[in-house]
Amino acid sequence: MNLKKSTRCFLLCSLFCLALGSGNSMAASELLASTEVSETVTKPVTLSFKPAETSREIRKVNVPAANFPLTPEKALSHLADADKLLGTRLTNRGIVLLYSKKSDKQNFYSAFLSPKSLFELGETGTKTSLDLTDISISTVWGAGVPMLRIAGTFGANVEETNYFYLVNQEIRPLLVASGNIIEVDLDQDKTPELISTGGTPQVSVLYRYKGGRVEEANLNDQLDASSIQPRRAGNTVVFDVWYKGKTKPLTFRYHKGTLQPVTP
């Protein structure tokens, strides 16, 4: 049964007075606090997006045009401080080189070799996690926005995924995200979003492609939540949100820039 707001307030005040009358002031205060939290967090939340982090530094290697096309072995000789070629991954846009550096015994690096250019893409992961590296061409934001996706692992299974925008055999940093990545069209508008989740407690960040750039919203900060876990629900993903002091999560669904509570 749905109660009008005035009726709910009357009942709440009555319960509060009863609690005070019985001398149980703590129970009364807890009742008020619980109700206030419930009233606050179950409202739709309009997210505030900002430009996503693209801090990965890349460098175009100065190679004379007459030297192209290069083999991976010859390309290695042009990379700064390069030591050994650890592996290559072929894509339909070019070759990704995985290599070590003489000055770094712990990590490995990546480079992108196209028929007419060579780029250093920076640190990619620890050498012990080389086999876990996932490399692909992603068109999650459409064929007009082809991206090189490189997911590496650092330290204690800390995943970092870098997206690079490919255009005219040039490559530009587009997004760097930590944690597990989900690519899904949350609001069924044919423009998928990305969700990254990691850490303990879990922090979830939502990414969207808009106006030729990637924007991000930290969901934990904007919902003032202690932990947020994405969960598959049919052909979309919902968010189970834990608040401090609560034993059960509240569930939200994303729609056009807003997180909307899901009725149990």
Cα separation, 164 vs 162, in Å, equals 7
Q: Buried (b) or exposed (e) across 35-70, using 16+ Cβ within 10 A?
A: eeeeeebeeebebebeebebebebeebebeeeeeeb
**Residue of 196, 203, 208 whose CA lies nearest to 256:** 208
If 0-12 CB within 10 Å is exposed, 13-18 middle and 19+ buried, where does residue 260 land? middle
**10-residue stretch averages of pLDDT, the chain, 264 residues long:** 44 44 47 45 88 87 96 98 98 95 97 96 95 92 88 86 88 92 92 94 95 93 96 94 93 95 85
Instruction: Say what the pLDDT of residue 41 is.
Output: 52
Instruction: Say what the pLDDT of residue 15 is.
Output: 40
**Residue of 207, 205, 210 whose CA lies nearest to 239:** 205
- Output DSSP code: residue 187: T
Cα separation, 155 vs 157, in Å, equals 6
Cβ neighbour number for residue 135 with a 10 Å cutoff: 18
Query: Considering the entire predicted model, what is its pTM?
Result: 0.80
Q: 242 near 201, Cβ under 8 Å? A: yes
- Output DSSP code: residue 56: -
Q: Is the peptide bond before 69 cis (omega within 30 degrees of 0)?
A: yes
HSE-CB for 97 with a 13 A CA cutoff: 26
- Output DSSP code: residue 47: -
What is the side-by-side order of every strand in the sheet holding 45-46?
Answer: 45-46, 258-261, 250-255, 236-242, 227-233
Q: 135 near 96, Cβ under 8 Å? A: yes
Instruction: Say what the pLDDT of residue 168 is.
Output: 79
